[in-house]
Amino acid sequence: EAKRRGRGQVVRFTPGMREADRQRAQLESDLQSAVERDEFRLHFQPIVNPETLSIFGYEALLRWTHPMRGPVSPAEFIPLAEASGAIGPIGEWVLKDACLKASAWPSDLYVAVNVSALQLRSARFPALVARILAETGLPPQRLTIELTETAIVANHDEVAAILNAVRALGVRVAMDDFGTGFSSLSHLRRLPVDVIKIDRSFVTSAEIDRNSMAVLKGIAQMGRDMEIAIVGEGVETPAQRDILRRIGCDGAQGYLFGKPTPFVLPTTPMLARAV
């Protein structure tokens, strides 16, 4: 059994590959019932001021415990849920649970929720957000939705209309993993976003790579000029925190300040050590 790919390339299915395909199909099918079976949980990771370490809010990160396989990474199951359409009900569960949990937090904390491009492209998305905010009582100003750069830049007009409807509710929009997509300068000119999250790869390499450092500085300056808040992702070392602080990043997130956990903590572990 062989499959043709691209320019006459022939891919043979080895026994191992067939097993992987079967597993993928099984996971995809199990995802359909995972909401009903209550197999999802949200974890929360703090987003802090890199200068004072005070907490602005938390990003909600989805965790799936499969009944047979145990924990499955979102990097593995989110693409499967997008392919099968299961992302619709899953994304709705995430948004609802995140808003519900955040409504019990201190009122100065926001929650950031990842939204898939597929979910966003439904014309009903702004109405869904409005309904969940009303049901949970979370003020719109305390919700941020995170979208990847590719999701925002593709189908620009259609997406911009939906994002503007969401922003009209008072919800903030963040562009996630910034720097990994292919946004041209013409797109950056009119971004319907309030926050840019710089991808971890730039933060990680800034210490050792002058070009990464230059890109970070440039993004921070662009953020100030466009009145877009800048958050650095994946901060693991004090030196990386110092870099973000020096270039004037508004926010920072990473294992240095706290890993994703099922419950929010009143302070970051780093701040607890410092005081």
Shortest Å, Cβ 244 to ligand C2E: 12
Shortest Å, Cβ 50 to ligand C2E: 13
Rule CB under 6 A: choose which of 18, 21, 74, 158 binds ligand C2E: 74
Could you give the CA distance from residue 275 to residue 271 in angstroms, rounded to a whole number? 6
Q: What part of residues 171-210 is at the interface with ligand C2E (CB under 6 A)? A: 176-177
Q: Which is nearer to ligand C2E, 74 or 85 (CB)?
A: 74
Residue labelled with tokens 């998305």: 125
Q: Which two tokens stand for residue 55?
A: 């907490």
Rule CB under 5 A: choose which of 39, 82, 177, 194 binds Mg ion: 177
C-alpha to C-alpha distances, 162 to 99, 117, 120, 166, 197, nearest whole angstrom: 20, 11, 7, 6, 20
Q: Is 268 in the site for Mg ion (CB under 5 A)?
A: no
Could you give the CA distance from residue 152 to residue 260 in angstroms, rounded to a whole number? 25
Q: Which is nearer to ligand C2E, 13 or 62 (CB)?
A: 62
Query: Residue 158: enclosing H or E segment and its boundaries?
Result: helix 156-168
Strand bridging mode 229-232 / 143-148: unpaired
Q: Is 117 in the site for Mg ion (CB under 5 A)?
A: no
Q: C-alpha angle with apex 104: 64 to 144, nearest 5 degrees?
A: 65
x/- string (CB under 5 A) for Mg ion, residues 128-147? Answer: ------------------x-
C-alpha to C-alpha distances, 40 to 57, 75, 147, 170, nearest whole angstrom: 21, 15, 20, 28
Q: Is 114 in the site for Mg ion (CB under 5 A)?
A: yes
Q: Which of 91, 76, 101, 218 has its CA nearest to residue 151?
A: 91
Q: Which is nearer to Mg ion, 97 or 146 (CB)?
A: 146
Rule CB under 6 A: choose which of 80, 254, 264, 271 binds ligand C2E: 254
Q: Is 10 in the site for ligand C2E (CB under 6 A)?
A: no
Q: What part of residues 12-41 is at the interface with ligand C2E (CB under 6 A)? A: none
Residues that bind ligand C2E (CB under 6 A): 45, 61-62, 73-75, 78, 94, 114-116, 146, 176-177, 234-236, 253-255, 260
- Judged by the rule CB under 5 A, the positions of this chain that interact with Mg ion are 114, 146, 176-177, 233
